Chain A
Amino acid sequence: MRARPSEYELVAPGSLPAVLALLAGEPGSWMPIAGGTELMVQYGAGKLGARKLVSLWGLPELRSIESTGEEVLIGAGCTYTDLRNDAVVAREFPLLGRAASWTGSIANQNRGTLGGNIVNGSPAADSLPALMVYEAELLLASVRGTRRVAYVEFHTGYKQTRLAPDEIIRAIALRPQFAAYHAYSRKVGTRNAQAIAKLCLAGLAKTSGNQIEDVRLAIGSMAVTPVRLRRTEEILLGRPWGGALISEARQALETEVAPIDDIRSSALYRLHVAGNLLQEFLEGLFA
């Protein structure tokens, strides 16, 4: 059943303070909407539970990418097109730029926002493993002020987050400290523009001689949230490179994640392909 527009309220206060005041006035009763690439799909199908929405689209406070020297602050309202076109993102955080180019079609990249993608919390979202390996922090804003939360701790369950009812994500903070790292990411799916990922692996590593000195791995579409693969990372650190290390890392990965079975893929397929991607990443480090 189609939604009836007369049953929904949508307001556009036009500034971040006005949005935050509205949220604070009636916590939990207003649903923020940015580019609508998720909520308007639910709305179109008559499945959007929220009846009162507040528009974040076009708020200038959320649409900039700024370098402060120590970190890069990406406004939560930046679209995937903004991310693809930004020179700093391309240079310092190539995995994020690449994930942006995989996320939906051009029309959806022109409307979908990084903040919306994070709050929506789909375990299959293309950019989330990249944010995890870059160790992003989220700036959460409310009338009470701004607090920081490590992105890796933001999702508490399937589509559950640590965002308070009166808060929105204002920006995503990333530290440009990975220039010396080998960056890898790969999405496995049927078609980038429409198909949601069967799985997506992001990896960063720094090598020294025949050893891995530092490594970060994160995977999407494998569990109810994107996952940082800390046990697999530990196995890989400071050990001599070789076939034995690859098999141990694959085994660690297989015990670390409990993949989901769903319409897009089976658990068995996901586990096997995740191991293949990990191996591809590792072999690339010493090729």
Chain B
Amino acid sequence: MSKREVSFTVNGAAHTVLVYPMERLLDVLRCELGLTGTKEGCGEGECGSCSVLMNGELVNSCLVPVLQAEGATIGTIEGLAGASGLHPVQQAFLKCGGAQCGICTPGMVMATVHLLGHTPAPTMEQVREGLGGNLCRCTGYTRIFDAVLEAAGRQK
């Protein structure tokens, strides 16, 4: 099989990459574009470490063949902080101690950004559902959920 060009926008910048169409979006982001903030955990869509936004929707980038991202708008953890500093969700994770080893953190943050985009003032039940696809083996989740609620307060 041969490589082909695939074009998409990542964090506001247009990219065209020469790739095999079945390459995982996760690998293209990390290896072709150097965006290593998106992590691989399980590689089978269960842990959420590779969460990114594709056309505004949260997806596991390990399960997206890159050809299906043709023309898409992708958002990764690297695109959140702006000139004025960290994104409010990142600030809330820092303030509440919502991270330990850090592997799950980019995915947790992206899932939180997605959740608050749809549900700006979530209940704890909605927080649990919104982050239900993201596994953390360190924190026990409590401080992560605190951070989500903190971020929701900040964004009101």
Contacts and interface: CB of A to CB of B under 8 A. Distances in A.
Given A10-B22, A36-B68, A45 B59 contact: no
A11 B22 CA distance: 9
B20 A5 contact: yes
A190 interface: no
Contacts of B23: 5
Contacts of A41: 44-45, 63
Interface stretch (A22-30, A103-111, A163-171, A246-254): A103-111
A260 B3 CA distance: 44
A283 B11 CA distance: 54
Contact of A193 (B43, B51, B65, B133): B133
A108 B44 contact: no
Contact of A6 (B20, B68, B134): B20
Nearest to A7: B1
Contacts of A10: 21-22, 65, 67
Interface string A261-276: 0000000000000000
Nearest to B57: A110
Contacts of B24: 5, 40, 44
Given A8-B20, A58-B68, A107 B45 contact: yes
B46 interface: yes
A111 B22 CA distance: 16
Interface in A1-49: 3, 5-12, 33, 35-37, 40-41, 43-45
B60 interface: yes
Query: Which has the most chain B C-beta neighbours within 10 Å: A8, A37, A104, A107?
Result: A107
Chain B contact-residue range equals 20 to 34
B102 interface: no
A9 B22 CA distance: 7
B57 to A, nearest CB: 4
Contact of B62 (A7, A44, A105, A110): A44
B75 interface: no
Contact of B59 (A5, A9, A111, A193): A111
A218 B62 CA distance: 34
A105 B133 contact: yes
Contact of B57 (A44, A81, A105, A192): A81
A55 B60 CA distance: 17
Contacts of B59: 107, 110-111
B133 A107 contact: yes
A53 to B, nearest CB: 7
A194 B46 contact: yes
Given A10-B67, A110-B57, A5 B22 contact: yes
A263 B151 CA distance: 39
Nearest to A35: B63
Contacts of B46: 194
22 contacts: A6-B20, A8-B21, A9-B21, A12-B67, A35-B63, A40-B24, A40-B63, A41-B44, A41-B45, A44-B24, A55-B67, A55-B68, A58-B68, A104-B45, A105-B48, A105-B133, A106-B111, A106-B129, A107-B59, A108-B60, A111-B63, A111-B64
Given A107-B48, A193-B129, 10 more contacts: A5-B23, A8-B22, A9-B21, A35-B63, A36-B64, A36-B68, A40-B64, A41-B44, A107-B45, A194-B135
Interface of A: 3, 5-12, 33, 35-37, 40-41, 43-45, 53, 55, 57-58, 81, 104-108, 110-111, 191-194
